[in-house]
Amino acid sequence: MRMFSRGRYTVRLSREPADVEAAQRLRFRAFIAARPGAALTGDRAEGLDRDAFDAACLHALVETGEGELVCCFRMLPLASGAEIGRSYSAQYYELSSLHDFAGPMVEMGRFCMAPGVRDPDVIRAAWAAMTAYVEAEGVELLFGCSSFEGVDAEAYMDAFAYLKEKHLAPRRWLPRPKAPAIFRFAAKWRLKRPDMKLAMRRMPPLLRSYLLLGGWVSDHAVIDRDLNTLHVFTGVEISRVPAARRRLMRPAAG
C-alpha cells in the first residue's frame, strides 16, 4: 500500500517490528488500559495487545505529520473462502457458509484510535487506504468483527433492531453461532421497530462505515468479556457497494 494523506494525516504499512509494537501499544491503550478490572498478565503486563494473528497480518498506521500514531488497524489477506478458518473471526463464528466464496478476501481487525482523538479525518484517511488496498488487490469480500463497547445489549436495542431490519447477512453467507456466550438480537427483537436516531447514535463509527457500503452482519452478537465488547461479524461484498458510494470513496483514496 502506498502512503496516503488526508489533511494532516498519512497512512502507511509497518516497515519493521518497532512499527508493529507501536500498533500493539496503541491497541493496549484503546482496548485494555482504560477498562476497570482488566487482567494485566502476559503481554498486557508490558503494555501490549498482542496475539498470534499479528505475524500473519499487514499493519496499517495512521500518523500525524509529526509522526504521532493516532490510529491503526491490521489486515489479513485470504485467497478465498477456503482459507476462512485462518481468520480471527473464525474463533467466534461458524463460517463454513463462506467456505465456497471464490474471490480474494481481507479481514480488517483491531481498528482503534488513540484515546481522545475525535477528528473524523482519521477514519477517512484509514478508509482511503483500505479502499486503495481492496481495489489494487482485487479483494471481493471485506470482513471483520465490529464491536460495541460494553456487554449490555439492552443499551444498544435500537441499533441491533436496525441491523436486524436492514442489514442481516444473506442466508447463503450467514454466520452461525460458535462462541459460548452470544446474544441473539435478531430473534430477541424480531418485532421491534427501531428508533432511527437512537440507532445511529449508538452505532459504532466503524460499523456505520461498513453499513454505508452496503455491509451486512451476523444475526447474533458475541459477548466478549475479555475485551468488554459485544461484536457482530460484518461483511462487505465489494461488487455490491453502491456505485455512488464507490465514486465518493475513490477520490478519497487518490
CB 160 within 8 A of CB 202: no
3-state helix, strand, coil in the chain (%, to 5): 40, 25, 35
Contacts (Cβ under 8 Å, ≥6 apart) of 244: none
Residue 6, pLDDT above cutoff 80:
no
Separation between Cα atoms, residue 78 and residue 96, nearest integer Å: 15
CA diameter of the chain: 51
> Residue 254 — very low, low, confident or very high, per pLDDT cuts 50/70/90?
very low
Q: Of 178, 230, 234, give the one whose Cα is nearest residue 211.
A: 234
Per-residue pLDDT reduced to its tens digit, 115-162: 999 898 898 899 889 988 999 999 999 999 999 999 999 999 999 999
Residue that wins the pLDDT comparison between 127 and 200: 200
Question: Which helix (H) or strand (E) covers residue 6, if one does?
Answer: strand 4-6
148: β partners: 230
Per-residue pLDDT reduced to its tens digit, 210-245: 999 999 999 999 999 888 899 999 999 999 998 877
Contacts (Cβ under 8 Å, ≥6 apart) of 54: 20, 24, 74
Return the CA Rg of the chain: 18
Count other Cβ atoms within 10 Å, centred on residue 190. 12
The number of angstroms, rounded, from the C-alpha of 150 to the middle of its chain's C-alpha atoms is: 16
What would the grid cell of residue 229 be? 465488547
Mean pLDDT of the chain: 92
Q: What angle do CA 241, 107, 159 make, to 5 degrees?
A: 60
Q: Give the pLDDT mean for 166-176.
A: 97
Residue 248, pLDDT above cutoff 70:
no
3 state DSSP class of 199: helix
Q: What angle do CA 146, 152, 154 make, to 5 degrees?
A: 100
Q: Identify the structural domains of the chain with CATH numbers, from first to last.
A: 4-253 (3.40.630.30)
